[in-house]
Amino acid sequence: MTVSSRISGDGKELVIAIDDRFDFSLHQLFRDAYSSITTQDLSYVLDLSKTEYMDSSALGMILLLKDHVQLYAGQLTISKPSDTVRKILEIAQFQRLMTIE
C-alpha cells in the first residue's frame, strides 16, 4: 500500500503516511484515507518521511485535506518531509498555510 492511515490508540490522532511517490495516481486512495472521518477536533498528521517525490497535484490534494480538516475543526501537521519534498513545500510556501515539522 502506498497510502496508509491509522487512528492512534486514544482516538485523537489520524496519521496518513505516503510511501515513495505522492502524485495524481494516489488521488482516490488519499481521499479515502480521510473522507469518511468526521470526528471533531482531531489531529491529522500527514507523514511524508517515506515520500521521495511529490508533484503539484499532490500539493492540491493536501489543500483538499486541509479543507476537510478545517470543516471538522481539526489540526493538520505535515510530518518529517525529506529534503526533496521539503523543497517543494517551501517553493509553494506551504509553511504559511499549515504546520510543517
Partner 1 sequence: MPRIQKIALVVDDSKMQCKLLSVLLKEEDYQVIIANDGASGVQMYIEHQPDLVLMDINMPIMDGFEATRRIKKLSGEGTLAPLIFITSMDSEQAFIDSVDAGGDSILVRPFTPKVFKAKIKAMQRISDLVDQVKGLQLEQQNDAELAEKMMSGVIEARNFALDKIGTIKKAATIFSGDIQLTALCPNGDIHVLLGDFTGHGLRASIGAIPVTDTFRAMTKKGFSILDIVAQLNRQMFTLLPGDLFFAACFACISEHEKSAYIFNAGLPDGYLFDVQGTIKQQFVSTHPPLGILPQLLADAQVEVVQVKPNDRLVFITDGIVEARNPAGDLFDFHRFEQAAIAGIIQKDLVNNVLSSLDDFCENCEQEDDISLVDVPCSGWQQIKVSNKVTIPEGFTEEDNYFALADNSLPTWSYHLHLTGGLLKKVNPIPLVMNQINDLEGAGEHWQSLYTILTELFINALDHGVLGLNSSLKNSAEGFSQYFKERAHRLDLLANEDNKVSEDFVGIALKYFPLAHGGKMVINIKDSGQGFDILDVFKDNSIAMNDGLKLSGRGVELVNQLCDTLDYQEQGTLVTASYIWHD
41-80 mask for partner 1 (x: CB under 8 A)? --------------xxx-xxx-xx--x-------------
C-alpha grid cell, residue 60: 492540491
Helix (H) or strand (E) holding 21: strand 20-22
- d(CA 82, CA 72) in angstroms, rounded, equals 28
In the complex, minimum distance from the CB of residue 92 to partner 1, in angstroms, rounded to a whole number: 5
Say how many C-beta atoms besides its own lie within 10 A of residue 68's C-beta: 17
Size of site (CB under 8 A) for partner 1: 18
Residue with Cβ nearer partner 1 (46 or 88):
88
Residue with Cβ nearer partner 1 (60 or 73):
60
Q: What is the dihedral sign for C-alpha 2, 15, 58, 82?
A: negative
Q: What are the residues binding partner 1 (CB under 8 A)?
A: 24, 55-57, 59-61, 63-64, 67, 88, 90-94, 96-97
